[in-house]
Amino acid sequence: MFQSLTTHWAAWLSQASFGQIALISGSMLVVSNVFMTWAWYGHLKHLADKPWWWAALISWGIALFEYLLQVPANRIGFTQLNLGQLKIMQEVITLAVFLPFSMLVMNQPFKLDYLWAGLCLVGAVYFIFRS
């Protein structure tokens, strides 16, 4: 059953459009980045009273779920996107996930610098994705 599912998925990917691939890959990277952001920064609030090595072990456990999504997302994305496009998409997603995390989970104030960084990323997206 798993073999036929894998074959079916590979056949669909070979016929998928650029937009479909970007949407699937991007969606998986958004969820992956939620895990990544939590692994990288969540311990600062929720495990601050624990030893660093305990926080590292917990973070590695969370990061496993990030990699279980990030690796296939990049493989799917790489069927239609080039490496630069994948990287810039990742950076945009990282900032888009980090901003609400920092404000809602870590209680950090919004800074105008986030807007300026986002505008720089819009420029990066333009230059990397233009034909």
Indicate if the pLDDT at residue 46 is higher than 80. Answer: yes
More reliable by pLDDT, 13 or 121: 121
To which residue do tokens 């991007």 refer? 26
Contacts of 98 (CB under 8 A, 6+ apart): 33, 37
| pLDDT tens column, 17-34 | 999 999 999 999 999 999
pLDDT tens for 100-120 read 999 999 999 999 999 999 899
For residue 79, what is the DSSP state? T
